[in-house]
Structure 1
Amino acid sequence: MLIIRMEDHSEKYDIMCYQNREILLIQSLHETEFFCWRGLLTKIATTPYATKDAWSFRAIRRKGVIFLCQFETEAERKRKENMSARDKLMTYWGYSFESYMTIDEPGTEPSTSSVVSRREEFATMCRGDLTAPDGSRLRLLYSAEIDAIDHAGGLVEMKTQRGELEGGFWRWKAPKWWMQSFLVGIKQIVVGHRNDNGYVRKLSCVNLDDLKASKQAQWRPEVMLALLSKVLHTIRINLLKEDDACIVEFQPDRGIILKKVMPDKEDFGFIDVVDLSKFH
């Protein structure tokens, strides 16, 4: 497992700079077919239960590997621009909770006075397989931001939640929480239950099995995984040659759309961040 400090939140492939470049790229990436960030996989998979949230990403095949990169939609851009002070404050509460719950070094105390920053995060690399609609394997390598590790080195996911896990939580948040943790092998989520003033009044640990087994859960993991597999399989059968590329979008009024395109700098410049010429 490789954990590195990330400097910002843009989707990049700087992490590949750490790989051995004297072998085939696909071997360096552990025989993977798809390379991306976990957030994109979660976004695709939870589409059946987030039908109003548009998304967009680019995919390009290079040296036997298909690279995926999420792009901000116009709706997402406007939503960020129009965030209220309250929305921004609630986002801060989440990062502040993580800061209070973690330490930099074993044996130290959490810092409760330092400035909470989003510019510092940690990521891990994960290897996973899915079964395609035709029964073949889809081999994935993806990076995921992690909140912390425990004393045994296991990954820890932390969330804040207003009050108890009830009402709209089961419709909107639960599928995303489950998928995010499932993709990195996390079995429990640490939850800080806050009030309307941002004060955490209770801590709890939520098991992934309990999330999907709850009578209030109106969603199914197999539906999300089936859609994710279908989308990735469709990309694979459309991008067969070197530099084949496509744009994949979900539009609430039209569904999921795949458009094959000629790669240009504006849409596919992300792949040039790392010099792939040294890989065979």
Structure 2
Amino acid sequence: MLMLGRGLDARDNQTKQAREAVTNVEKHFGELCQIFAGYVRKTARLRDKADLLVNEIHAYAATETPNLKLGLKNFANEFSKLQDYRQAEVERLEAKVVEPLKCYGTIIKLKREDLKATLTARNREAKQLSQLERTRQRNPSDRHIIFKAESELQRASLDATRTTRHLEETIDNFEKQKIKDIKNIFSEFITIEMLFHGKALEIYTAAFQSIQNIDENEDLQVFRSSLYPPDHQSRLDIVRANSKSPLQRTSSSKHCTGIVQISRNRLKKDEEEDDEDYDYEDEDEDEELESTKDER
């Protein structure tokens, strides 16, 4: 009887430890599942906001100058590509992290059923032991009743031993699977995040280059051309001509006066030469008349 009591105490301790292990996993795995699920939902909402941002960038780019338009469109395309990878990240996190944690709800339910069966068998064993002690106290000489109680206790003990061994095995497997799953879940989480962020770095680099390649000066020239009509340059030349400094206008006047004076001098000289030619012709004609008179 003393050995049977020690066996009951040992099984009680095992059952208690198994129950604490299951309760601990139920609590913390439940919290992890909720937090990871929230993390995935936040990532999905970030993806949705990024899609809105891409649409707005495209709408704005359509209104801008050529280089800025091209740069913004390339940026938006790269950013949209990143959201495809973010969508893949969300799907992988759901499948590789959240779902395995959710499965522990069913696993823990099964372990609690095993615990319940073990506790039921242990309680039955304890009850049969108490009944046997009462029978021996009340009817110490009635071997038939005592033997019957001992048989009931033996069957209860065998059932308790069987369920306890089953609980030991299932809890041992549960603990091994728990450690393995934790390693896999967190390894998958880190791998998924590294894959996404590696792609994100590559895409962000391309998006950054798209913005840096925008030619500011060329777009500024396009913008200025849109401000001024085509005939603005001719009007601008007229304004510049009329806005010369007094010194420039004086120099120009002197230059024109000099040209006129030179022209006048040249004209006067030509007239004098014509007069001289005329005088020589008159003298020749007079000499010819005198000679004619003498001959007569």
> Over alpha carbons, which structure has the higher Rg?
2
Please classify the TM superposition score into its range, dividing by the shorter chain length: under 0.3
The structure with more helix, counted as a fraction of residues: 2
Report the TM-score, using the length of structure 2 for normalisation: 0.17
Greater percentage in strand: 1
